[in-house]
Structure 1
Amino acid sequence: MGEVSGKAGSGERVDYGPQQFPDRLGFELWRFERALAKGLIPPADIGGRRWSAAVVEEVAGRAEEIRGATGSLPDMGGVRAAALLEERFGMPVAPEVLIELDRLGLVECVNSYKGWPLYDGLALEHFTDRAVLEKAKRDGRLLNRTAAARRLRVRACDFDHLTKANWLRPATWVHSGWQRRRDTPVVALYRLGDLEVLLVHPAIDWEEVRATSKGRPSALARLSPAPDA
Structure 2
Amino acid sequence: MTDTTAETNAEETPAPQPAELGGWRIAGLLSERAGVEVTMADIDELVAQEHLVVTGWFKRRPMYETAAALALDEDLVRGVVDERRAWEAASVPRDAAAERIGWHWRDIERMGAEGRITLGKGRRYLIADLEALAAEADGEQYITAQAAADVLEIRHPADWKYVEAAGWISPADTYEREVGRTRTVTVALYRLADVRAVRDMPGVDWEAVRGLPKGAVSPLREYAALAPTRAAVVKAFAQALADRHRTTVWAWNSPYSGGWELDWERVDGGPTEDEVLRELFADPVAATHASEITLCPAWGEVTRAARELLEPDVAVILDTETTDLDGQTVEVAVIDAATGKKLMDTLVKPTEPISDGARWVHGITDEMVADARPFEKVLPRLRQVTKGKIICSYNVVFDRGIVLGDIARAGKKPMHLEPQDSWFCLMEAYKDWTGAFRWLRLGGRHRALGDCESARKVLIRMSEGRGTTFTPTAPAPAQR
Q: TM-score, normalised by structure 2?
A: 0.30
Contact 2:166–2:223 under 8 Å retained in 1: no
| Equivalent position to 1:55, from 59, 63, 68 | 68
Counterpart of 2:97? 81
Secondary structure at the counterpart of residue 56 of structure 1: helix
CA distance in 2, matches of 1:185, 1:21: 47
Counterpart of 1:19? 24
Contact 1:161–1:221 under 8 Å retained in 2: no
1:65 aligns with 2:79: yes
Secondary structure at the counterpart of residue 97 of structure 2: helix
Alignment of 1:19-168 (within 5 A): 19-26=24-31, 27-33=38-44, 35=45, 39-40=48-49, 42=51, 44-47=53-56, 49-59=62-72, 61=74, 62-71=76-85, 73=88, 76-78=93-95, 80-83=96-99, 85=100, 93-96=102-105, 98-99=108-109, 101-102=111-112, 103-108=114-119, 120-121=123-124, 123-124=125-126, 126-127=127-128, 130-136=131-137, 138-148=138-148, 156-157=161-162, 159=164, 168=171
Contact 1:157–1:218 under 8 Å retained in 2: no
Per-residue deviation, 1:41: 5.3
* Structure index of larger Rg: 2
- Cα 1:143–1:128 change in 2 (3 A) is closer
Secondary structure at the counterpart of residue 143 of structure 1: strand
Contact 1:174–1:189 under 8 Å retained in 2: no
- Structure 1 gap ranges (5+): 1-9, 87-92, 111-118, 200-204
Greater fraction strand: 2
Secondary structure at the counterpart of residue 23 of structure 2: coil
Identity, % of aligned positions: 12
Contact 1:82–1:95 under 8 Å retained in 2: yes
Contact 1:17–1:50 under 8 Å retained in 2: yes
Counterpart of 2:328? none
**Higher alpha-carbon deviation: 214-223 or 46-55:** 214-223
Secondary structure at the counterpart of residue 186 of structure 1: strand
Give the counterpart letter for 1:106 in structure 2: I
- Cα 1:43–1:180 change in 2 (3 A) is farther
Greater fraction helix: 2
Per-residue deviation, 1:32: 3.6
Per-residue deviation, 1:76: 2.8
CA distance in 1, matches of 2:130, 2:224: 48
Contact 1:36–1:43 under 8 Å retained in 2: yes
Give the counterpart letter for 2:56 in structure 1: G
Per-residue deviation, 1:14: 2.0
Which whole-Å deviations, capped at 9, do the CAs of 1:15-53 have from their partners, x for residues lacking one?
A: 2223322223332334444x268x235563413632223
Per-residue deviation, 1:65: 0.6
Contact 1:144–1:190 under 8 Å retained in 2: yes
Q: How many residues align?
A: 185
Contact 1:100–1:140 under 8 Å retained in 2: no
Alignment of 1:213-224 (within 5 A): 213=222, 216=225, 218-219=227-228, 222=232
Secondary structure at the counterpart of residue 188 of structure 2: strand
CA distance in 2, matches of 1:145, 1:109: 32
RMSD: 4.8
CA distance in 2, matches of 1:161, 1:58: 70
- Structure 2 gap ranges (5+): 1-14, 32-37, 205-218, 236-250, 252-465, 470-480
CA distance in 1, matches of 2:46, 2:195: 41
